[in-house]
Structure 1
């Protein structure tokens, strides 16, 4: 083995190597995980033990982090250790972490059908470009960054589709220990997120009269060359819900609402997965497909009928 290095030193080399292969926003997320969680605990160590990682896991859960967040931190830690071992800078120690059993599964938050109809009707009666973005989200399931990055050139009236080609996000840049944020435009979350989504008749009615008059290079939400950023748009959306006296729901809940309505309408799961831009169908199944008791009974009855 080469001269042993600390996890802090190996992490710096790993990040430099990783930068060649992943998006800037991903590197930014890794940097935050390192600065906020991994380096304060393990930065000066030259190897890890399973007990140390297990204790760290339980500590983070006690601090109020979700299991998903802690698992994301551990994924980064494991990547650094594997990189260090491959470069012969760290000993390879295999560790497996146990998580406490989650007693309660969080319910997916979605709009009621009545609230969804209320929002969509309000947009029709009170048109603004920002309101149109909410309507587009409820009609396509697009993410907030994708809505902020949508340009008029992405809307095709001939094929009656919306092309999702870019996303806008504000990321943290950590440079020499100093932090600042930067608004960036990049490709969507994954390769599957670059997609075409059909527009329904109602959405087409709203967009058709506008599209012919618009500058193709302008962003839909602002109808200007400069976009709005997700944080600003979230604040606007929050005020809209308050104005309409609709219970508070995260903007991402609009995407969940779209997907839930598709599943409730018995659309096939693979198609819903492709529309949402999920990397694989299991994400869609785990998030949205939860058979109720009536569906379970029908399934068992159907099985017994086949036996007869």
Structure 2
């Protein structure tokens, strides 16, 4: 049953269906939009709103005729390449080539639906990828589809309002004080400057340590300037090898100044006098890339008889020691180069358990006691 002239129909399942013309594609075919509801009055109201919205000729609409794969490559190379770092560009390309294009690439861009994206997300989870990895892949697709919608290449964004699983909570594994001391004793015996000592007493990332030059260490002002990072990027073409790139730090906040205290300053001054390289951590009189630093770190762990951990755990250890010493979270966030205090809080919430417990004990001590009266 339909209402005359209104394009509203009663379906067999009892719901009302309203149909309106959204646009015409490049071949002149009408593209319809649909509205559903349990009540006729609700569908009629919403249908009127959409009919007004799409009543004018769609002069700005120029539907994209290519596949999703073609659009993704166009979006990345035309819209994004000049705006993002080389490492970011290559990571986007890798996510597209490895996951998005094999699953969705052959589909026409204008026919990509929300259900297609939902099936794609389900497929990613069946690969047992972490929630953060799935999110990073989805964000590439979402960015491309959002741009297609804003350019009027598609009539609706299939990624809009999709909810992903919450990210897996990262387990922060910091060294105990005893194991930290073991590593320090081995590291202090090294001939050159130790990346372990730098990480434990500055909280710098491995790539930042690799890129650190002696000119970035100001012994007069007692500061370290974190200006660059060294990272390995995937090949741009098949058959090529990965390559090393000196680039800007991870975020704007990562480009920071770290104070140097007395003991670390004395250690660095001694190592600088002995060094023949421009780099604080050197290998064959040049920089030591992250792989070299990680290899050396494994040897230190073995000598110290400490269980295997990633080099990044030293950064977590630095942050944990700071929390234990009562350093406020805003200061710690700046030292670590985090983009927000929230990130620091989310990352080190478990490390701050003792501080929260001590705060409760202090407040608990006031229970039943009369207030102090100043004279």
Q: Same fold (TM over 0.5)?
A: yes
**Which of 11, 22, 28 is the aligned partner of 2:84?**
22
| Structure 1 position 260 matched with structure 2 position 320 | yes
Alignment of 1:94-109 (within 5 A): 94=158, 95-99=160-164, 105-109=169-173
Secondary structure of the 2:242 match is strand
Aligned residue number for residue 129 of structure 1:
192
Q: Which has the higher contact order (CA 8 A, sep 6+)?
A: 1
Alignment of 1:163-242 (within 5 A): 163-175=225-237, 177-212=238-273, 214=275, 218-222=278-282, 226-242=286-302
Greater helix share, 1 or 2?
1
| Alpha-carbon distance change, 209 to 297 in structure 1, aligned in 2, over 3 angstroms | closer
**Which of 54, 62, 70 is the aligned partner of 2:118?**
54
- Cα distance in 1 for partners of 2:131, 2:208 equals 27
Q: CA RMSD in A?
A: 2.6
1:245 CA drift (Å): 1.1
1:244 CA drift (Å): 1.3
Alignment of 1:120-159 (within 5 A): 120-124=184-188, 126-129=189-192, 132-159=194-221
Secondary structure of the 1:174 match is coil
Aligned residue number for residue 176 of structure 2:
112
- Cα distance in 2 for partners of 1:82, 1:307 equals 61
Q: TM-score, normalised by structure 1?
A: 0.89
- Cα distance in 2 for partners of 1:53, 1:302 equals 55
1:227 CA drift (Å): 1.5
Aligned residue number for residue 78 of structure 1:
142
- Cα distance in 2 for partners of 1:90, 1:172 equals 32
- Cα distance in 1 for partners of 2:342, 2:370 equals 30
Contact map agreement 2:272 2:280 (CA 8 A) in 1: no
The structure having more radius of gyration, on CA atoms, is 2
Q: TM-score, normalised by structure 2?
A: 0.74
1:225 CA drift (Å): 5.4
